Amino acid sequence: MNIKNILKQISTHSLAKNSAIVIAGSMGANVGSYLYHLIMGRLLGPVAYGELSSLLSIFYIFSVPLNVGAVVLVKFISSMKARDDLGQVRTLFLKVTKACVIGGIVGLPLMYAFAPFISGFLRIQSNFLFLLVYIAFVFSLLTVIASSALQGYQKFLWVSIFGAGAILLKLVISIPAVGWGVYGVLLATVITGVIMYALYLIPLKFIFSVKAKKLTLTTREAFTYALPSLCIILGMTSLYSTDMILVRHFFPAYEAGLYASLSVLGKVIFYASSAISIVIFPVLSERTAKGEKGTKLIFIGLGTVTAVSTGITLFYFVFPEFIIRMFFGSSYIQGAPLLGLFGIFLVLYSIGNMFATIFMALGKLTIWYVPILCATLQIVGINVFHSSVISVIWVNIISSLVLIMSLLGYYMKRIYEKV
């Protein structure tokens, strides 16, 4: 079969076509995010970049409810679409948006009250930086609502364009804003959030073309689905972000900046493999709903993630100085000996994330406590063992290894019970 025929089949198969669109958008957003951190790291320098990374890590943890909310909204909006009930979609969209706006306004003075404690913990001089992170979070929350509506109606092209476009816009605005340091970069993030939310509303005009209808969705239905998902996503996000926050707390600014550079270069491993889980999730969910086996698909997903992440890590072991000097500059070169080891952490994390995705697709949400326990293990471990950066990396590796072994054991038990 020639390439022309293969492309023709892909273009006429909705699942393959949508998967290709999502992968393209995801890869564009991931590459853009990678470039954003590289450029900010070079322009800000180790000390200021370490401060920015710790603040963004808080943003990532704030974003856990966004990810859970997106999963729940996509599920129920898709169900309403299947019933051709656009009136309920409008009601749900407006109710959730109104709740987020009110919550964001009410939360602002609370964040202002807590800002001195968080700024002190992270050794950040200005409380205003933390408030900028909070405002950026509120607009991200509103954007997630709009994005979920687009996904629920399978408008994947818009989602992919906006996902990649948002990071590009943030990069374009942030570069000239670097002149004002971390203040300028975070203000650029807020401005990007405002612009992107306005853009998301354009393809959603069809929602407001009908009258609102009373919701039949109950709060109990939503919470039954959302709570275990929240625990899984919270645990995985913590494993991905909390180490940077604790390093910022325990280590001098320069060492925290070096760790931030390792984190960005290491996370390219996760960026490279995350698109695989995005494609696997809907396909495996569909097969599960039909009662079909997905064992082969699971092994393909795990094998591909392992191969891609391991290959990048081997490259990090062989050429660490070249990679750091090329992307971050000579001021970060002291972190070169640790790049390969940090890569091992991200290999294990990527495999663990794939396992978590598989269980969520299979509807086996009873594994919710595993990521939470492993994230707790990481936090406790770093608090106890932080004599050096390498100690922190080893804690990350052990925590991720426990995650994989626990989820693998759960999966093998599931297979054994079916035999």
**φ, ψ dihedrals at 216, nearest 5°:** -100, -10
Q: What does DSSP assign to residue 299?
A: H
Q: In terms of Cα–Cα distance, which of 196, 145, 198 is closest to 29?
A: 196
Is pLDDT at 3 greater than 50 in this prediction? no
Domain that holds residue 342: 225-412
Confidence of residue 33 (pLDDT cuts 50, 70, 90): confident
- Within a domain: residue 113? no
Provide the sign of the torsion angle of the four alpha carbons 261, 263, 265, 268, taken in this order: negative
- Within a domain: residue 390? yes
- Within a domain: residue 262? yes
What is the chain's mean pLDDT, rounded? 82
For 346, the 3-state DSSP assignment is helix
* CA–CA dist 414, 328 (Å, integer): 45
pLDDT given at position 17: 65
pLDDT given at position 417: 55
- Within a domain: residue 100? no
SS percent in the chain: helix, strand, coil, step 5: 90, 0, 10
29 burial level (CB within 10 Å; 0-12, 13-18, 19+): buried
* CA–CA dist 134, 138 (Å, integer): 6
pLDDT given at position 344: 95
- Within a domain: residue 359? yes
* CA–CA dist 410, 359 (Å, integer): 10
Residue 374 and residue 397 in contact, taking contact as beta carbons nearer than 8 Å: no
What is the percent of the chain with per-residue pLDDT over 70, rounded to a whole number? 88
Residue 240 and residue 349 in contact, taking contact as beta carbons nearer than 8 Å: yes
**Under 8 Å CB-to-CB from 216, ≥6 apart: which residues?**
88
pLDDT given at position 134: 87
Is pLDDT at 318 greater than 90 in this prediction? yes
**Under 8 Å CB-to-CB from 113, ≥6 apart: which residues?**
none
Reported as a single tens digit per residue, the pLDDT across 69-79 is 777 787 677 76
Torsion of CA 121, 123, 127, 133, to 10 degrees: -80
- Within a domain: residue 370? yes
Rg of the chain in Å (alpha carbons): 22
**Under 8 Å CB-to-CB from 252, ≥6 apart: which residues?**
none
Domains contained in the chain, number = 1
Q: Measuring CA to CA, how many Å separate 50 from each of 136, 139, 175, 306, 355?
A: 19, 24, 17, 29, 31
Is pLDDT at 7 greater than 50 in this prediction? no
Is pLDDT at 30 greater than 60 in this prediction? yes
pTM of the model: 0.69
DSSP state string for 240-278: HHHHHHHHHHHS-HHHHHHHHHHHHHHHHHHHHHHHHHH
Residue 312 and residue 268 in contact, taking contact as beta carbons nearer than 8 Å: yes
- Within a domain: residue 18? no
- Within a domain: residue 325? yes
* Tokens coding 259: 């760790």
Is pLDDT at 264 greater than 50 in this prediction? yes
pLDDT given at position 14: 52
Confidence of residue 385 (pLDDT cuts 50, 70, 90): very high
Residue 78 and residue 150 in contact, taking contact as beta carbons nearer than 8 Å: no
Q: Measuring CA to CA, how many Å separate 203 from each of 149, 316, 365?
A: 10, 42, 33
* CA–CA dist 164, 36 (Å, integer): 12
Reported as a single tens digit per residue, the pLDDT across 119-129 is 777 777 777 88
CA atoms within 13 A on the CB side of 122: 27
pLDDT given at position 20: 66
Q: In terms of Cα–Cα distance, which of 247, 250, 273 is closest to 261?
A: 247
Region 373-388: mean pLDDT is: 94
